Structure 1
Amino acid sequence: MQFRPARTLPLRLAAHGGEVLPGLLLTVAIAVVATAIGAALPVLGSAVPAIVIGVVVAVIRRPGPRLRPGADFSGRFLLQLAVVLLGAQLSLGAILRVGAESLPVMLSTLTVCLLGAWLIGRALRVEPRLRTLIGVGTGICGASAIAAVSPVIAAVSAEVSYAVSTIFVFNVLAVLLFPLLGHALGMDPHTFGLLAGTAVNDTSSVVAAASVFGASALGFAVVVKLVRTLMIIPISLALSVIESRRTAEGRRITLRGALGLVPWFLLGFLAVAVLGSLGAIPPGPREALAHVSAFLIATAMAGIGLSTDVRALRRAGWRPLVLGAILWVLVTATALAVIAVTGLGR
């Protein structure tokens, strides 16, 4: 997928507003329904219902020329804007305190997950872009990481849809199994928060799992998860350089050229995170921005769902799901091992 800078948005809307509006309204309507479902069933969140509804609509009747521009707009620009607003949830104090403690676990699990995605994905003959999306979704933060990385590697809608759906399966299993695992291992809330924050994929599932374990585990788990979200930036930058070198047929990338590859939405994410860390975003607006970001992600997922080629999903087969299962187990086992070896648990 190719993306144009945000500064061209007003001109594009003025020139193509009539084309964008019908499909945009449809994705917003789907997002409203998905948000209501997510509020009733927090374990689901809003992203997965949105993409499922979009896919169902596409199966019944795939959007034609009148709706497709708005669906594409939602699945592209709004998705990037949602990633930018995620930065508002961060604070400098939380990053410094929790980041220092959880960094060994986060780096270990992320390294194991990305290496596993590459090696095991190749062995299973999973398409490179799909295994990358499943890898970052498992290793970083579920749908949000998939949202950030998909434009960088030019992933198509079917790949994004399958990756989000795969991650969701193991999010649900994590909510059901992680609290049982924590109690079986005799974990205290602090240790369980560290495990959940580093081994459960999506933020909503981290919240759900920690809440089931105990309210005292919730705060620490969420902060660990938000710090883990920062890994979106270096991973996306690395993938930008790799993708450029691949498409440029091995041409050498200069420092200036590498800086030019930085997607605008990642710079925006970093800028908003810095503002949040400095306290420039009060608690009220910060909470509002978190809700706006979640709604934009649901809207974007609806657009992606509407654009999904179901036949391509069928061609993907069972291999990506197996890859997701193996990576999920690897990440969980690695987190437990590092916590035990380093004595980070209390």
Structure 2
Amino acid sequence: MNSRLHSFKISLRNETVKKLLFFLLAALCVSPFISSPLALASGFFIAVFIGNPFEKHLHRYIHLLLQVSIVGLGFSLQLDEAMQAGKTGFQLTIVSILSVMVLGYLLGKLFRIEKPLSYLISAGTAICGGSAIAAVSPIIKPDNKQISLALAIVFTLNSMALFIYPALGHAFHLSQEQFGLWCAVGIHDTSSVVGAANKYGNEALHVATTVKLARALWIIPVSVFTMFIFKTKGSSIKIPWFIGLFILAILAGTYIPFFHTLGQPIASISKSGLNLTLFLIGSTLSLSTLQSINFRSLAFAVILWIAISIGSLLYIIRYI
């Protein structure tokens, strides 16, 4: 028995076997048989038990694939639907961002978290996870350890949200619109937002994607505010330009008959692309990354996440 297990471990160390298993699971994730949470779990399985043979090269492609997939979803949206979703989530977006940033400042003082780290986690929780962390990092100039820790915490909570949010959505009998709005406000990263919403339903996916991308535009004013708070000069602001392409895709799907006809097929391909994105994200996680998270920073982030999740849920149930 021990010899067989030893032989199995040796075979998994073989680079050719690793690549074959990686491509096999990746192919399964773009099929209709694998849900978004399972796609993420499959990637994590690769990272922990087999080893990702492409880890060094994936990061540059993950964001590109996510952006292309989101733009593709725009072709299946009608302009009036997108405007209604954006209007519904506007007030909640403003209140939630301000609340999280203020609460993050106060909790950071209470937990004695380093100011750059607490700000990174707060911005990631308030706006759009890793993208917000990447946007404010050049401004506040944290060290690499603080950036890595903030990203590790956000990605860990995102992974949990993919499983927790759909289950709670059904438990509270949330409508498609309510759940999509809750995802856009309560989950950090865009990838996990669309993954959880996609599992819940098409309407939830449309609402979540539109509101989350509108929310992501708040990177710009928050970055300007950050430059003022940290008194940094000459820092650049990263603008999420692909959101403009998403808006153009909505306009094309609404007013151009050719794209209106192809909207649903493009959306189906885009959903497969999102599943593949989650698989790739999962495959870049590792036990060493998770072990780098300390208790105080994790507790700080979890309290922020619970606060925005419960607060937005109560608002949505009452007013939406």
- Give the alignment's TM-score, normalised by structure 2: 0.68
Q: 2:213 aligns with which of 213, 230, 234?
A: 230
Paired amino acid for 2:310: V
1:333 maps to 2:318: no
Q: 1:40 and 1:222 mapped to 2: Cα distance?
A: 18
In the TM superposition, what is the alpha-carbon distance from 1:286 to its structure 2 partner?
Answer: 4.4
Q: Deviations over 1:231-268 (max 9, x none)?
A: 25412333444555667x34378xxxx7xx345xx324
In the TM superposition, what is the alpha-carbon distance from 1:269 to its structure 2 partner?
Answer: 4.5
Contact 1:34–1:47 (Cα < 8 Å) also in 2:
no
Pairwise mapping of residues 7-156 of structure 1 onto structure 2 (< 5 A)? Answer: 30=22, 33=25, 36=28, 42=35, 44-47=37-40, 49-51=42-44, 53-54=46-47, 56=48, 71-75=55-59, 77-85=60-68, 86-91=70-75, 94=78, 96-125=79-108, 127-136=118-127, 145-154=128-137, 156=147
Q: 1:312 and 1:318 mapped to 2: Cα distance?
A: 14
Q: Deviations over 1:38-58 (max 9, x none)?
A: 96663625235535753x36x
Q: How many residues align?
A: 272
Paired amino acid for 1:237: I
Paired amino acid for 1:50: G
2:233 alignment partner in structure 1? 251
Q: 1:194 to 1:288 in 2, by over 3 A?
A: closer
Contact 2:43–2:282 (Cα < 8 Å) also in 1:
yes
- Same amino acid, percent of matched pairs: 8
Q: 1:115 and 1:48 mapped to 2: Cα distance?
A: 33
RMSD between aligned alpha carbons? 3.8
Contact 2:220–2:238 (Cα < 8 Å) also in 1:
yes
Paired amino acid for 2:233: R
Contact 1:89–1:273 (Cα < 8 Å) also in 2:
no
Contact 1:99–1:224 (Cα < 8 Å) also in 2:
yes
Structure 1 outlier segments of 4+, above 6 Å: 25-28
Q: 1:107 to 1:49 in 2, by over 3 A?
A: farther
1:196 alignment partner in structure 2? 179
Q: 1:147 and 1:28 mapped to 2: Cα distance?
A: 29
In the TM superposition, what is the alpha-carbon distance from 1:273 to its structure 2 partner?
Answer: 4.5
1:140 alignment partner in structure 2? none
Q: Deviations over 1:59-79 (max 9, x none)?
A: x99x9xxx7xx534422x113
2:275 alignment partner in structure 1? 294
Paired amino acid for 2:248: V
Q: Deviations over 1:168-210 (max 9, x none)?
A: 434433322322322xxxx7xxxx122111013422322434x
Paired amino acid for 1:271: L
SS in 2 for 1:318: helix
Q: 1:78 to 1:252 in 2, by over 3 A?
A: closer
1:314 alignment partner in structure 2? 294
Where in structure 1 are there 5+ consecutive unaligned residues? 1-21, 137-144, 210-217, 340-346
Contact 1:92–1:277 (Cα < 8 Å) also in 2:
no
- In terms of mean alpha carbon deviation, does 85-94 or 277-286 score higher? 277-286
1:175 maps to 2:175: no
Q: 1:146 and 1:27 mapped to 2: Cα distance?
A: 30
Q: 1:240 and 1:29 mapped to 2: Cα distance?
A: 41
Contact 1:174–1:205 (Cα < 8 Å) also in 2:
yes
Q: 1:238 to 1:311 in 2, by over 3 A?
A: same
Q: 1:318 and 1:105 mapped to 2: Cα distance?
A: 31
Q: Deviations over 1:297-327 (max 9, x none)?
A: 4324423x14964443135342312221121
- In terms of mean alpha carbon deviation, does 306-315 or 28-37 score higher? 28-37
Q: 1:272 to 1:239 in 2, by over 3 A?
A: same
2:251 alignment partner in structure 1? 277
Q: 2:303 and 2:20 mapped to 1: Cα distance?
A: 33
Contact 2:62–2:281 (Cα < 8 Å) also in 1:
yes
1:164 alignment partner in structure 2? 155
Paired amino acid for 1:235: W
